[in-house]
Amino acid sequence: MEWEAVIGLEIHSQLATNSKIFSGASTTYGAEPNTQACAIDLGMPGVLPVVNKEVVRMAAMFGLAIEAEMGEYSVFARKNYFYPDLPKGYQISQFELPIVGKGHLDIELEDGTTKRIGVTRAHLEEDAGKSLHEDFHGMTGIDLNRAGTPLLEIVSEPDMRSAKEAVAYMKKMHSLVTYLGISDGNMQEGSFRCDANVSVRLKGEEEFGTRTEIKNINSFRFVERAIEHEIERQIEILESGGEIIQETRLYDADKDETRSMRSKEEANDYRYFPDPDLLPVVMDQAVLDAARDSMPELSDARKARFIDQYGLRGEDAGQITASREMADFFEAALEVSGGSDAKIVANWVIGEFSGALNREGLSVQEAPVSAAMLGQLVKRILDNTISGKIAKEVFEAMWQGEGDADVIIEQKGMKQVTDTGAIEVMVDEVLANNPKQVENYRNAEEQKRGKMIGFFVGQIMKASKGKANPALVNELLKKKLDS
């Protein structure tokens, strides 16, 4: 039997506003507990919500980016349930008329083909607070700083067929919201997280199987693993004649498994109804025009431009433009380098720089090497101050915080030797010390000589501690050997 997974994602993306969606309290992360929870966020008696203008603009930008249908009115509704981190006993969300309707997002699959994933809707809502389960005399502590932080909940169609596709979709969505500047996308801080709906069915079947929902996954790696495990679990159950129970499951990263969240799951009855404290939000042409005007260049457009303007290979351009930070980094480094050779800058960004980031698990912003520093390093390669090989040493030194490229080159005396006389002395010395190899070279056929010259180059580079200009070395060697 061949099984097929059916996956849909609900992504919660915090919107990068200064103040909360319905109050003037700050959204800054990491403040002392309950110091950023104002009377509105606390659900004090008599308080009322007023909608933050910025969230409407951000939702409009998002809607335009995924080419979504957007109705003229959207309505806030109350989702009623009791939980200690939900101060009012209801969450203000959107139900029947979401701000963003049907749209889509194209993802690239591993085989290089493109797949279109449907977006069912995206709606605005407020985040809840946090329950802290450390022991406070056997009690739970509630911090409501996060309560009221704006969220855009992006609901996909069940269009994904593997964990890999789900990750590709989540990454593309992450790239989109950060490109748009509507979310900081910080997954550690919970700014970007998702719930996955997973079911399996026999390949070729039309109907969906019973699905489970995996809650609150906050890393790309976990999404892939959680979904993979859930698919395996479901297939195992079905193949042994069992039945899937519709339930909410939690991914336990430590044990690398999903487990049922509530044993006695009670059917939720959220009693949605339009929030009478709020009026319909208008999304008219003026709002859309303003959003369109504030749209930055998005990844696909930027990739095309990088290929066109800088002559990058498609794959390289795709890799660099996958995140806005990386693409911004590239362009800034290119400018500092003098702008003449985009390919070498691209190689450094994709190679050494991305490698170092991955090695240390850092984001572009957290990197010890700035775009200006990398640009300067490339500039020194291009003006022959240093060789590419030395440049790698300089990069490592920059990464270790030893200063910028010029300082390190100067301090370590890494400047390339371009003095013909000095190199000639080294060439003569090497030739004199290796008469056998010189003889072999001269007796060899023309086409083999190219390879053999490498030996002499290596000896000279070694003698010069890598500082001799390789082009000059080659030129002089050839002149002397062939004469």
Partner 1 sequence: MHTKTLTELSAMLQAGEVSSVALTEHFLDRIEQYDQDLNSFITVTREEALEAARAADERIQAGNAGPLTGVPIAHKDIFCTDGVRTSCGSRMLDNFIAPYDATVVEQFKQAGAVVLGKTNMDEFAMGSSNETSFYGPVKNPWDRDRVPGGSSGGSAASVAARLAPAATGTDTGGSIRQPAALCGITGLKPTYGRVSRWGMIAFASSLDQGGPMAQSAEDCALMLEVMSGFDEKDSTSVNEAVPDYRTQLSQGLQGLKIGLPKEYFSEGLGPEVEAVVRAAIEEYKKLGAEIIEISLPNTHLAVPAYYVVAPAECSSNLSRFDGVRYGYRCDDPKDLQDLYERSRGEGFGEEVKRRIMIGAYALSAGYYDAYYLKAQKVRHLISDDFRKAFEEVDVIMGPTAPSTAFKLGEKADDPVTMYLSDIYTIAVNLAGLPGMSVPAGFSEGMPVGLQIIGNYFEEARLLNVAHQYQQVTDWHRQIPEAFKGQS
Partner 2 sequence: MSLGPDEVKKIAHLARLGIREEDIPEYARNLSDILSFVEHLGEADTEAVAPMAHPLHATQRLRDDVVTENNQREKFQQLAPQTQDGLYLVPKVIE
Supply the minimum distance, in Å, between the C-beta of residue 318 and partner 2: 34
Contacts with partner 2, residue ranges (CB under 8 A): 17-19, 23-26, 32-39, 42, 44, 50-54, 56, 73, 82, 84, 131-133, 136-144, 250, 261, 269, 271, 274, 276, 278-282
Pairing of strands 212-217, 248-252: parallel
User: Cβ 81 to partner 2, closest distance in Å?
Assistant: 9
Distance CA 203, CA 208 (A): 11
Nearer to partner 2, 35 or 433 (CB): 35
Q: What tokens does 239 get?
A: 């193949």
Stretch that binds partner 1, among 39-47, 299-307, 421-429, 449-457 (CB under 8 A): 39-47
Binding partner selected for residue 56 from partner 1, partner 2, none, CB under the kind-specific 5 to 8 Å limit: partner 2
* Nearest to 5, CA basis, from 174, 187, 201, 137: 201
The only residue of 2, 30, 32, 45 in contact with partner 1, by rule CB under 8 A: 45
- Nearer Cβ to partner 1 (142/472): 142
470: number of CA atoms within 13 Å, CB side?
13
Binding mask 105-144 for partner 1 (x = CB under 8 A): -------------------------------------x--
* Contact window for partner 1 (CB under 8 A) among 76-84, 292-300, 301-309, 438-446: 76-84
Choose between 131 and 384: whose C-beta lies nearer to partner 1: 131
Give the nearest distance from C-beta 122 to partner 1 in angstroms.
Answer: 22
Contact 417, 409 (CB under 8 A): no
Instruction: State which residue, 50 or 471, has the beta carbon closest to partner 1.
Output: 50
| CB closer to partner 1, 276 vs 421 | 276
Structure tokens at 340: 């003449």
How far is Cα 483 from Cα 476, in angstroms, rounded to an integer? Answer: 11
Q: With CB cut-offs between 5 and 8 Å by kind, which of partner 1, partner 2, none does residue 33 bind? A: partner 2
Using alpha carbons, select from 166, 249, 185 the residue that is nearest to residue 12: 185
Cβ at position 54, least distance to partner 1 in Å: 16
Q: Which pair of structure tokens corresponds to residue 81?
A: 């349930």
CB of 107 to partner 2, least distance (A): 31
Pick the closer one to partner 2 by CB: 18 or 433: 18
Q: How many angstroms separate the CA atoms of 83 and 129, rounded?
A: 10
Tokens of 204: 């070729």
Residue whose tokens read 């290796």:
434
Q: Which helix (H) or strand (E) holds 229?
A: helix 220-239
Q: Which amino acid is at 235?
A: I
Shortest distance in whole angstroms from residue 46 CB to partner 1: 4
Q: How far is the CB of 280 from partner 2 (least distance, A)?
A: 5
Select the binding partner of residue 288 from partner 1, partner 2, none (C-beta < 5 to 8 A, by kind): none
The encoded tokens of residue 221 equal 């790696």
Stretch that binds partner 1, among 277-285, 308-316, 379-387, 427-435 (CB under 8 A): 277-285
For residues 92 and 82, give the distance between their C-alpha atoms in angstroms, rounded to a whole number. 13
DSSP, collapsed to helix, strand or coil, labels residue 159 as coil
Estimate to the nearest angstrom the gap between the alpha carbon of 382 and the chain centroid. Answer: 30
Of partner 2, partner 1, none, which one sits near residue 46, judging by CB under 5 to 8 A according to partner kind? partner 1
Cα-based angle 140, 146, 151 (whole degrees, multiple of 5): 130
Three-point CA angle 42, 99, 121, nearest 5°: 105
Q: How many of the chain's residues bind partner 1 (CB under 8 A)? A: 28
Work out the widest C-alpha separation in the chain, in whole angstroms: 98
Map residues 312-341 to x or -, x wherever contact with partner 1 holds by CB under 8 A: ------------------------------
Contact (Cβ atoms closer than 8 angstroms) between residue 382 and residue 341: yes
**Of the two residues 217 and 281, which places its CB atom closer to partner 1 in the complex?**
281
Q: Does 47 bind partner 1 (CB under 8 A)?
A: yes
Q: Are 242 and 206 in contact (CB under 8 A)?
A: no
Is the CB of residue 290 less than 8 Å from the CB of residue 284?
Answer: no
Contact window for partner 1 (CB under 8 A) among 274-282, 292-300, 329-337, 438-446: 274-282
Q: Does residue 474 touch partner 1 according to CB under 8 A?
A: no
Which residues in 279-308 contact partner 1 (CB under 8 A)?
Answer: 279
Q: How far apart are CA 52 and CA 42, in angstroms?
A: 17
Please identify, among the stretches 83-91, 151-159, 232-240, 382-390, the one whose residues bind partner 1 according to the rule CB under 8 A: 83-91
Beta carbons of 344 and 311 less than 8 angstroms apart:
no
SS3 category, 18: coil
In whole angstroms, give the CA distance from residue 352 to residue 354. 6
Which span sits near partner 1 by CB under 8 A: 11-19, 196-204, 265-273, 356-364? Answer: 265-273
Residue 281's binding partner, choosing from partner 2, partner 1, none, with beta-carbon cut-off 5 to 8 A by kind? Answer: partner 2
| Residues forming the site for partner 1 (CB under 8 A) | 39, 42-51, 78, 80, 82, 84, 87-90, 142, 269, 271-273, 276-279
